[in-house]
């Protein structure tokens, strides 16, 4: 009797699991954008399987990079995406971004501005508010700490040198690199940028620290004070 019951069992695979099985069989690099997104979304709607839903979502975007720029609220306007899925997608995008940024790891030696400039463009180049980040290095020019010192607001638009130097002393750094973004996208230094860099360099000199560089980044390029100004 038991064998007869087995004969009538329906052998099916949930649609949302198919891309997962393909990932295991052929590897993630062989999956399409649609399949990768379907794995993260997990379930479809009452009328559409998750693979169709993920394809429709992608078709609503001009390109894959646009997905990164959508807010939670904007994601919820896409077909089949509720608040929970929107939050999960934002978390996935942020984690992927951090993994991509990790090519310049702590303790890697900084030998020039180009690689660091590219890293910081990815990190803060597209921020809507001004961010100022300090990188602290040892005697071998290896990064030992990265700290976000300041995020711009209506009431405040500049960081104080003491905030930067406090962390330098705390982690026993011997040199510092400062990076901040211009939300406008232009990397041309303002008068405030020049004055801030000059004051910070003087403060570093007093404490026996070396200000190696100050980078300004936009969403595509960067400006290096060491390479392009007369302050260094």
Condensed to tens digits (0 to 9), the pLDDT of residues 41-62 reads 888 777 788 888 888 888 888 8
Integer Cα distance of 178 and 183 in angstroms: 16
Q: Show Cβ contacts of residue 86 under 8 Å, excluding neighbours closer than 6 positions.
A: 72, 73, 75, 76
25-34, 43-52, 104-113, 217-226: range with lowest mean pLDDT: 104-113
Integer Cα distance of 43 and 50 in angstroms: 5
Residues 158/229, Cβ–Cβ less than 8 Å: no
Domain boundaries, the chain: 2-101, 113-228
Residues 75/94, Cβ–Cβ less than 8 Å: no
Q: What is the pLDDT of residue 119?
A: 87
Q: What is the pLDDT of residue 16?
A: 44
What one-character DSSP code corresponds to residue 189? P
- In this predicted structure, the answer to whether residue 105 has a pLDDT above a threshold of 60 is no
Task: Choose which CATH entry (3.40.640.10, 3.50.90.10, 2.60.120.1030, 3.40.140.10) describes domain 113-228.
Answer: 3.40.140.10
CATH class of 2-101: mainly alpha
- Give φ, ψ of 96 to 5 degrees: -60, -40
For residue 99, how far is the Cα from the chain centroid? Answer: 8
The per-residue pLDDT for range 155-178, each reduced to its tens digit, is 555 678 999 999 999 999 999 999
pLDDT class of 210 with cuts at 50, 70, 90: very high
- The pTM is what? 0.62
């Amino acid at each position: 009797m038991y064998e007869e019951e087995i004969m009538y069992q329906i052998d099916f695979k949930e649609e949302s699991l198919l891309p997962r099985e393909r990932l295991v069989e052929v590897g993630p690099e062989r999956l399409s954008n649609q399949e990768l997104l379907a794995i993260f979304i997990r379930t479809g709607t009452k009328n559409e399987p998750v693979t169709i839903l993920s394809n429709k979502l992608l078709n609503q975007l001009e390109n894959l990079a646009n997905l990164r720029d959508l807010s939670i609220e904007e994601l919820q306007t896409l077909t089949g995406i509720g608040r929970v899925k929107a939050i999960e997608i934002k978390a996935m995008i942020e984690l992927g971004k951090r993994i991509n940024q990790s090519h310049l790891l702590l303790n890697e030696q900084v030998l020039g501005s180009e690689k660091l400039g590219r890293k910081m463009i990815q990190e803060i180049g597209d921020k809507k508010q001004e961010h100022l980040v300090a990188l602290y290095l040892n005697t071998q020019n290896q990064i030992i700490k990265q700290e976000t010192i300041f995020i711009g607001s209506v009431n405040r638009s500049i960081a104080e040198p003491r905030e930067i130097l406090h962390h330098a002393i705390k982690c026993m750094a011997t040199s510092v690199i400062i990076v901040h973004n211009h939300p406008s996208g232009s990397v041309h230094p303002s008068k405030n940028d020049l004055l801030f860099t000059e004051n910070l360099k003087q403060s570093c000199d007093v404490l026996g620290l070396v200000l190696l560089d100050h980078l300004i980044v936009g969403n595509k390029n960067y400006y290096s004070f060491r390479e392009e100004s007369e302050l260094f």
